Amino acid sequence: MQIFEEIFSGETKRADVFVCEIADISRSRAAKLLEDGRVTLNGEKAAKNAKLKSGDRVTVCIPDPEIYDLMPENIPLDIVYEDDDLLVVNKPKGMVVHPAAGNYTGTLVNALMHHCPDSLSGINGVMRPGIVHRIDKNTSGLLIVAKNDLSHNALAMQIKEHSFTREYEAVVYGNLKNDRGTIDAPIGRHPCKRKQMAVIEGGRNAVTHYEVLERLNGFTHLRLRLETGRTHQIRVHMSYIGHAVAGDDVYGPKKVITSLCGQCLHAKKIGFIHPKSEKYLEFDSKLPDYFKLFLQRSR
């Protein structure tokens, strides 16, 4: 079972809308959870039409699927670091992190189940064993996997407290005016397109810092540091300021750069305090070939 709990702040908002935001689920799924009594408001069962006010505590309990057969698959993994408590994986573009409806094979989780079948944390349930944080299917780069619940909780707390280093590199459309800057704009579920996120009033706090690495022909190469970790954060924020990530077929222009097969976005560096040794560890990955080739073509 997955449990999400958050204190609501801001103006009045429908409970189902807030449940969508904190649990990253569709409006219909949120409505079903409310109907089934799996959402509480200040410790009491939330009504289907409940309205939230600032200071309300909302708890969402999402049950594990009743039937799910997660199959280990012998898929090669690019493991950057591994010990008894965790591992750091360099995920290729095109690989989904965990199984979901319509996509139950070929994921990172399937590969992890084969690599370390008896040592993955169970906090996120059978669908997401070991997964502490995610990156999109068409984003390449580093992510951390927990082998036990103690490590998972410790790492998740670092992410929540913004002490977990996450740096990305991206190529975005256009020429940014400033060499560096900060995008501080709340992100929530798109009001009309349920599978998309957007900068919206009343959304969850989201902060992205950027720095120009190179100005290209019609594009800019950026380093980005996440202060928060909202769904699609970098993609949404860059689109919001008019410089969508190159190749992004969701938040970018209608004419997509198909040769990129997705956004030109790479999770290049992560750093964290090891749950057991309490030493700070930091890992960096090389830019993948697709990224380097696009830089060359854009110079």
The enclosing domain of 188 has a CATH number of 3.30.2350.10
Same domain for 172 and 258?
yes
Q: Flag whether 189 is in a domain.
A: yes
Confidence of residue 12 (pLDDT cuts 50, 70, 90): confident
Q: Flag whether 287 is in a domain.
A: no
Same domain for 39 and 83?
no
Same domain for 87 and 52?
no
Considering 107, 129, 156, which residue would you say is the last residue of a domain?
Answer: 156
> What is the rounded average pLDDT of the residues 240-245?
98
pLDDT at 280 over 90: yes
| 22 three-class SS | helix
Q: Into how many domains does the chain fold? A: 3
Same domain for 23 and 55?
yes
Q: Flag whether 162 is in a domain.
A: no
Distance CA 78, CA 24 (A): 28
Same domain for 203 and 242?
yes
CATH number at residue 28: 3.10.290.10
DSSP label at 114?
A: H
Same domain for 149 and 72?
yes
Distance CA 282, CA 276 (A): 15
Distance CA 231, CA 236 (A): 9
Considering 11, 43, 62, which residue would you say is the last residue of a domain?
Answer: 62
What percentage of residues in the chain have a pLDDT greater than 90?
A: 67
pLDDT at 66 over 70: no
pLDDT given at position 126: 66
Same domain for 56 and 76?
no
Same domain for 136 and 209?
no
Same domain for 58 and 74?
no
pLDDT at 67 over 50: no
Give the closest residue to 159 by CA, choosing from 227, 60, 89, 58.
227
Q: Flag whether 96 is in a domain.
A: yes
Same domain for 34 and 18?
yes
Q: Flag whether 272 is in a domain.
A: no
Q: Flag whether 278 is in a domain.
A: no
Q: Flag whether 14 is in a domain.
A: yes
Considering 62, 78, 104, which residue would you say is the last residue of a domain?
Answer: 62
Q: To the nearest 10°, the Cα dihedral for 6, 39, 187, 167?
A: 60
Residues 6+ apart with CB under 8 A from 245: 170, 171, 172, 173, 234, 235, 238, 239, 251, 252, 263, 264, 265
Same domain for 39 and 109?
no
Residue-range definition of the domain harbouring residue 110: 67-156
Lowest average pLDDT, out of 40-54, 95-109, 156-170, goes to 95-109
129-158 residue pLDDT tens: 889 999 999 999 999 999 999 999 999 999
Distance CA 161, CA 153 (A): 12
Distance CA 171, CA 97 (A): 22
Give the closest residue to 79 by CA, choosing from 89, 67, 66, 70.
89
**Alpha carbon of 72 to those of 86, 109, 129, 145: distances in Å?**
18, 8, 12, 16
The chain-wide mean pLDDT, for the chain, equals 91
> Catalytic positions, please?
136
Same domain for 177 and 109?
no
> pTM above the 0.85 mark?
no
Q: Flag whether 216 is in a domain.
A: yes
Lowest average pLDDT, out of 8-12, 25-29, 225-229, goes to 25-29
The end-to-end CA distance of the chain, in Å, is 49
